[in-house]
Structure 1
Amino acid sequence: MENDLLEIRMSEAEVRQMSPLALAFIGDAVYEVFVRTYLASEHRNMSVHNLHVEAIKFVKAHSQSEVIKKLEQELSDREMYFFKKGRNAKSGTVPKNADVQEYRFATGFETLIGFLYLIGNRDRLNYLFRFIINLKNKGGF
């Protein structure tokens, strides 16, 4: 394959044509890799089980919902567009440990992360991830 699969970039127009749930699918994976990498680098001697337990605190729908509520005022109009597109998408399922509103906000958060990742906006992703780490360290979720 000619393209470097780790460096796929799409135009915003291409991303706008994607299903918000497909963007959330990508965003979920990107966020999970960020969280796992961050935790493993910060807690090098922690057991894998304990790393997993800590990761769940970041990635569960309740936490993502709290994060996006605190981030909303930081979002640009186009970022808000993708968040709302994901939040309003009908997925057909709700996890047993989250209510519908939390799950929808979490889906919007993941859609936003997927959008930023696919257009290659690493600076903005780093800003948001730093915001999340600071929020977590202050007991914000």
Structure 2
Amino acid sequence: MQPNELSGSTLAYIGDAVWSLLVREYLVELGYGRAKDLQRLSVNFVSAKAQARFYEQLHAAGTFSEEEEEIFRRGRNFKSGSVPKNTDVQIYRISTGFEALTGWWHLTGQTARLHEIWEQVRPTVGLESKLMA
């Protein structure tokens, strides 16, 4: 498999799974075990709105290389033909671009970069502080 030859939607498909696994592992590490809690809290990371916000924050900080921005655009510009009812099309496309980037990091073996990004966005959700309260 050649990640640079995959479509934006394929990269996003892989990225969605990779990001979801990071989130699930994190929530379990925090001590959550009930399926209802896990699902409710995971939305803070895996919803289109959350992923678009992560991308915008990282982009504004100049976090991404030009190559990474190109991968993001491949995912963002893919026309899926459908958008979830509760999500603005622009937000959905940005989130798809973020997922494509996540999939690309995974498929190219850039796990350190993936974890670096994860460590930058994870605290912005604030779940650790909610546990302490």
Deviations along 1:103-137, whole A, 9 cap, x unmatched? 00000000000000000101101101101112212
TM-score by length of 2: 0.89
Q: How far apart, CA to CA, are the structure 2 residues paired with 1:57 and 1:137?
A: 10
1:51-90 matches, within 5 Å, as 51-72=38-59, 73-90=62-79
Cα drift, residue 43 of structure 1:
2.2
Rounded to whole Å, the distance in 2 between the matches of 1:27 and 1:53 is: 20
Provide the TM-score with structure 1 as the length reference: 0.84
Measure how far apart 1:21 and its partner are. 0.2
Calculate the aligned-residue CA RMSD, in Å: 1.3
Which amino acid is the alignment partner of residue 48 of structure 1?
Answer: A
Pairwise CA distance, 1:51: 1.2
Other-structure match for 2:130: none
Select which of 116, 122, 126 maps to 2:111. 122
Unaligned 5+ runs, structure 2: 128-133
1:38 aligned residue: 26
Provide the C-alpha distance between the structure 2 equivalents of 1:67 and 1:115, rounded to a whole number of angstroms. Answer: 17
Looking at structure 2, the residues matched to 43 and 97 of structure 1 have their Cα atoms a distance apart, in angstroms, of: 30
Determine the structure 2 residue equivalent to 1:18.
Answer: 6
Spell out structure 1 runs of 4+ moving beyond 4 A: none
Quick one: distance in 2 between partners of 1:82 and 1:36? 25
User: SS of the counterpart of 2:85?
Assistant: coil
Report the CA distance between 1:50 and its aligned residue: 0.7
**How many residues in Structure 1 have an aligned counterpart in Structure 2?**
125
- 1:98 maps to which of 50, 68, 87: 87
| Letter paired with 1:137 | G
Matched residues, percent identical?
Answer: 38
